[in-house]
Amino acid sequence: MDIYLVGMNHKTAPVEIRERIAQVCRLTASPLEHRPHCRAVEEMFFLSTCNRVEFLFTTHNGSDGIEEITDIMVRLVGLPKEMVLKHLYVHKNLEAVRHLFRVASSLDSMVVGEPQILGQIKEAYREATHYRTVGVVLNRLLHKTFSVAKRVRTETNIGCHAVSVSYAAVELAKKIFGQLQGKRVMLLGAGEMAELAAAHFRAHGVRDMVVVNRTLERAVELARRFQAQTIPFAHFLDALLDVDIVLCSTAAAQPILYADDLKPRMRKRKNRPLFFIDIAMPRNVDPKVNDLDNVYLYDIDDLKGIVDLNLSERRHEAEKAQLIIDTETLQFHQWLQTLDVVPTIIALRRKAEEIRQTELRKTLSQLPGLGDKEKEAIGVLTESIIKKLLHDPIIFLKKKSVRDSKNMYVNFTQQLFNLDREETPVSSLDCTDG
């Protein structure tokens, strides 16, 4: 059994491709519903954020498993397969585990050290448990992932002074205008990213902000906190006449602003420059808006220069975090290797228990005068003998499970005890015995 991770992120795919996948995944049923139709995929976990789409799965047939997962992505996005393949990465076993640990620890994020990714992975795990697509291996791996991320955040300073995408967006606005005092800002969306951006705009001297959101109550609450104005969502196009910067972060599945909507309003603005910073995924603003005179549109990929600076500042902490991740990856891999001997251990226990039960029935049938207390004592005695007798062979097999020669010892044990060769499903195994 192998673990694979197939996906694309901000390093391998442009925003046009990522938003297509994120949009489709948001509009349709969960991709996890495709799991029963995948013959080669056993356990499955799906993660989708504004910067990545990834499938983590287990399989005994890697090539077929990758093919099935790729087909799911192609069907979801409706793009030519060769285009999707061009942006995909595939990690196997150790590399898959290491990648997941890096993602959860925010080392693979656009903004290194940002804390949101761990919450997003936990939410994706809750969805996987809801659809029952995770079993022994991925359950163990994801819980280990949570503990590794916590350890990285506790033992390093990776999260200290970490910037967010919202912070990077405000920094970009600063680079454009030099200073932000006196600028009027529209926050299109009132979620967490808008809230963070509002705080950063205020910190950089912006005192004139307007909040627009489909849910007016949320807009009013955010505006109250930052002494801003609110405008009904239906009127936001007209409100563009007197703002300088628009920061977009709504959860809309389709663009909410097109060039045809903006063009007449730019004439009314007498072509005063208007800057859009679109950090939503999918994007809120149609890219053709950028073709209009005096309109400047920046999307999340344009923040890369600012977050690269963030990476260099955290490079030392990232190296410390990577050491933790490498150590934890090896430990998980050792646990994974022990799964190869577990079916034999289970078969050994099962055979011993069958013999114990058979012999116990024969013996008790010859002793009709025994009371319940005596029968129970004999039962406990036989259980104890079996457990102690099997202890050393089981420990021996577990120690050999990390060796290349483990298959030889497994075969030897099966022949020695004449075990049933029928494999026990890993998902039903209890491998906690010492």
For residue 151, which amino acid is it? R
Residue 381 CA to residue 79 CA, distance in Å, equals 66
Tokens standing for residue 426: 């890993």
- C-beta of residue 192 within 8 angstroms of C-beta of residue 361: no
- C-beta of residue 113 within 8 angstroms of C-beta of residue 162: yes
What stretch of H or E contains 14? none
Query: End-to-end alpha-carbon separation of the chain, Å?
Result: 23
| Strands lying side by side in the sheet with 89-92 | 44-48, 52-59, 2-9, 89-92
Catalytic residue among 25, 38, 50, 431: 50
Name the pairing type of β-strands 229-232 and 89-92.
Answer: unpaired
For residue 24, which amino acid is it? V
Q: Could you give the angle at the alpha carbon of 233 between the alpha carbons of 230 and 236, nearest 5°? A: 80
The partner residues of 297 in beta bridges, in order of sequence, read 276
Q: Torsion angle, CA of 183/200/47/90, rounded to 10 degrees?
A: 90
Tokens standing for residue 70: 């790729």
Residue 209 CA to residue 269 CA, distance in Å, equals 18
Map tokens 């020669």 to a residue: 405
Catalytic residue flag (residue 50): yes
Map tokens 């950063």 to a residue: 200
Sort residue 271 into left (φ over 0), alpha (ψ -120 to 50) or beta: left
Residue 190 CA to residue 162 CA, distance in Å, equals 22
* Active site positions, annotated: 50
